[in-house]
Structure formats: structure tokens, C-alpha cells
Amino acid sequence: MSSRHLVSLLVTSALALGACNKKDSPADQPAKSAAPARDGFLKVGESAPDFEAVAHDGQTVKLSALRGKVVVLYFYPKDGTSGCTTEARGFRDEKQSLDAAGAVVLGVSADDNESHRGFASEQGLPFLLLPDTEHAIAEAYGVGSFLGMPSRVTYLIDRQGKIVKVYPSVEPQAHAKEIVRDLEALQ
């Protein structure tokens, strides 16, 4: 068998296997973004790209439906890892202050909803986690990845859907308090 024929056979098999493994449940569908992939972070003042995803609790989240609320959109590498757990607990522990500022927290990683459900339950997370298994949301926001995991980046989105702050380098243990201070400054 020639190497060309072997490559063709492997590609065909991989495509067929991928088609067989597709799930029909809406919760297992990849996030959809209306924006093209970006090269670099969004800038303050830009409109936040709209997206739609099914959260770990089964709720469909569409960013444009959250107009009128401040959105804390935070990207993190992986459920259950030490830095990501510390960051998530920070948002959990600042829930009262975030609620008082009218903020909605959305966590985004490449993990699927099964992983997100376990992570949210284990840590008592009172906010939604969104699967971005195809990296559509991360790409629309210019968030890079390493080994298939998104970088730790946060966007603060105002009530009109505009980016008001970008956090390209996040310190997990202090991040939630930093967000709360910035939200208070916006009031």
C-alpha cells in the first residue's frame, strides 16, 4: 500500500470516527460565536462579540441577552486545577459584592459540561460555566491557548455590551477582588 493511499485511508477513517462520535444533545454542541477569530485581545471600547452556549446547568446563554447587566467573562485553563480552583473560589466568595454591582460571572474553558458540572458542584460555584470545546468563544475574544487549554484572561463588559477592561494577565488568588474594585469604580 502506498503512503499516499495510507494517508487518505487514515484521513477518511478519522472523519468517519468524528462523525460517529458526534452527540445530538444541545448541551454537547459546541459554543457558537458570531465573530471571526481574532489575532490579539479585544480593545477597550470595542463591542463584545456575541456568542451562544449551553452552560453546565443546561441554561442557554447568549451574551446579547445579557445587555443591561455587567458581564465578567473569564477564561481559565482547566476545571479542578489549583489556579483555576483558586480563581473560581474567589468569584464564589465575592458573589454578594458582584451581585450588588449587577454583574453576571461567566467562566469559560475548553472542558465539557460533564466536567463543569462536577467542578461547579464540588466548589459550590454560584455562576455559570460555559464549555468552549471548539475554542469558538476564545478565538472570538483573541484568547490564546496552550495544549488545548485557554489562557487565563478576563473581559469586563458593560451594560451596553462594550469592553471596559481587559485583564490579560490574571493572578488567580487576587483576581475576584480586583474585579470588584473595578466594578465599584464603574458605578
- Whole-angstrom distance, CA of residue 3 vs CA of residue 180: 58
| Cβ within 8 Å of residue 81, ≥6 positions away | none
Grid cell of 69 as nine digits: 447587566
| Cβ within 8 Å of residue 128, ≥6 positions away | 55, 56, 57, 59, 61, 105, 106, 107
User: Would you give the distance in Å from CA 166 to the centre of its chain?
Assistant: 14
**Element housing 23 (H / E):** none
| Cβ within 8 Å of residue 96, ≥6 positions away | none
Grid cell of 100 as nine digits: 450588588
Q: Is 84 a catalytic residue?
A: yes
Asked whether 149 and 131 are in contact (CB, 8 A), the reply is: no
Catalytic residue among 53, 84, 130, 136: 84
Catalytic residue IDs: 84
